[in-house]
Amino acid sequence: MGILSRFSLKQDSDLILALDIGTEVVKALIFRVDKDQQHGTVIGVGRVPQKIGNMQSGAVSDISGVIESARQAIALAKEKAKVKRIEKSVIGIAGELVKGTTTTVHYERVNPEMHIATPELRMIIQKVQEKAYERIKRQLAWETSQPDIDVKLINAAIVDVRIDGYHVSNPVNFQGRDVSMSVFNAYAPMMHLGALQTIADELDLDLLSIAAEPYAVARSVEVEDMLDFSAIFIDIGGGSTDIAVVRNGGLEGTKMFALGGRAFTKRLAQEFGVSFDVAEQMKLNYANGRLNSPEATKIATLFADDCRVWVGGVELSLLEFAETDLLPSRIFLCGGGSALPGIKQALLSPEWIQNLPFSKAPQVSYLQPRDITRISDTTGELGNPQDITPIALANLALLDHIDEEKMLSSILLRSMKSLKN
């Protein structure tokens, strides 16, 4: 759930732009909301490479440069979709300073025999949100050495509600003494949000929401019984790796660290004495098995070293989630960096697995566009894990609309708006 302007899906022909501003590539995806307002159909896709200075570790570092790349990507998507204008948009945000965590509050009711009413529920949600805000602000202040850092809530979702230990989907009208509520919240520094708002304004876009990309990816997979679904999502981009942990259908938290495919490209450029662009093409050729044996052997050795550093970052990120419970054994990979040889193997290495408390031996697979069942593609251009993030953003736009119809989500949205103000 996002906190910017809300959108009304009243017309069959409503079009929405999902914009993934990556470190390496800007991806623009135009989709049409279907009649049932539960699904979307992609009708246009545009991709434009970023200039080296446009992004740093997943965050915008040159607003003008990003605007130009995004403008070109949107133009390509509009041309393929055969539309002249697109206004509504959802934009993804990533980077180390985007923080996502689940906060739980236990509330002991004075009169357990009274039925829980909406005002009481609203008060409990407000307590959770206030606790989460202070927690995130302290963490970011410590990491940035800026005690007065301005942070804003960008996404929130109710993860779990229990009354006297029993799980309920809607606590209204129940009785009980102890109400436990867990809410996932994603926050970002105002500086980063302001940059994206400026980009949207310059592109004449009506910004429906800004979404933390690992949050969008984690919500993209839906199974029949979500309460039994637990998984780790790892999105390897050009400048950062985003991790989301889902337990029993609820998003427990997200972590990001500044290491992605671009670091490997820079290593190749240094070792082979070539430009960044040439090194990038070498990396792609290596991933696709198109290099001669001597070059491939040298790159494999270099990549093995970098891969050990990368998997160490994943380990550190996951250790925080392992403090109270075993880690899910299902691991989904996506993003452009996931295609590099050795990534999957590194996550299956015995040395790495034994350092983390998994519930059982991990199973690693690639998240594919077909796994996001609410979004279908008519372009034929969305066919591998590197396309997951913009599809997940499109999916999240639909889910936000669907969630608005639910009472708990409606109360949460009002709480988010009050925090924003």
Classify residue 230: in a domain, yes or no.
Answer: no
- Give Cβ neighbours of residue 297 (< 8 Å, ≥ 6 apart): none
C-beta pairs of 189-195 under 8 Å, 24+ apart in sequence: 189/97, 189/140, 189/144, 189/149, 189/150, 189/151, 189/152, 190/150, 190/151, 190/152, 191/150, 192/59, 192/60, 192/93, 192/95, 192/97, 192/98, 193/93, 193/152, 193/154, 195/59, 195/60, 195/63
Q: In this structure, is residue 226 part of a structural domain?
A: no
Q: What tens digit of pLDDT does each residue of 205-248 get? A: 998 889 999 999 999 998 877 778 899 999 999 888 999 999 98
86 with 216, same domain: the answer is yes
The whole-number pLDDT of residue 254 equals 92
CB neighbour burial string for 109-119, b if at least 16 within 10 angstroms, e if fewer: beeeeeebeee
Please report whether residue 9 resides in a domain. Answer: no
Domain shared by 88 and 113, yes or no: no
- 134-184 pLDDT, tens digit each: 888 888 888 878 888 888 888 888 888 999 999 888 888 999 999 999 888
7 within domain boundaries: no
Please give the pLDDT value at position 385: 93
For the chain, the 3-state helix, strand and coil shares in percent, each to the nearest 5, are: 40, 30, 30
Residue 63 within any structural domain of the chain: yes
Domain that holds residue 272: 236-249+252-366
Whether residue 197 sits in one domain with residue 163: no
Q: What is the pLDDT of residues 284-295, one digit of tens each?
A: 888 877 877 788
Do 261 and 354 sit in the same domain of this protein?
yes
Residues of the chain with pLDDT under 70: 1-13, 401-421
The reply to whether 174 and 64 lie within a common domain is no
346 lies in the same domain as 378: no
> What is the total count of domains within the chain?
3
Can you give the pLDDT at residue 409? Answer: 60
**Res 7: pLDDT:** 47
CATH number at residue 125: 3.30.1490.110
User: Has residue 6 been placed in a domain?
Assistant: no
DSSP codes joined into one string, 401-421? HHHHTSHHHHHHHHHHHHHH-
pLDDT at residue number 196: 94
Closest to 49 (Cα-Cα) out of 81, 80, 77, 27: 27
Sign of torsion, CA 306 19 101 339?
negative
Residue 159, classed as helix, strand or coil, is strand
Residue % of the chain over a pLDDT of 70: 92
Same domain, 287 and 397: no
Domain with 263 in it: what CATH number? 3.30.420.40
Please indicate, yes or no, whether residues 72 and 211 belong to a single structural domain of this protein.
yes
CA pair distance 26, 49, nearest whole angstrom = 6
Domain match, 359 and 303 both: yes
Whether 5 is in a domain gets the answer: no
For residues 198 and 273, membership in a common domain is answered with no
Structure-block tokens of residue 138: 């302290």
Are residue 32 and residue 180 in the same domain, yes or no? no
How far is residue 279's CA from residue 285's CA, in Å, rounded to a whole number?
Answer: 10
In this prediction, residue 419 carries a pLDDT of 55
Instruction: Give domain status of residue 266, yes or no.
Output: yes
**Does residue 273 sit in the same domain as residue 384?**
no
pLDDT at residue 179 in the model: 92
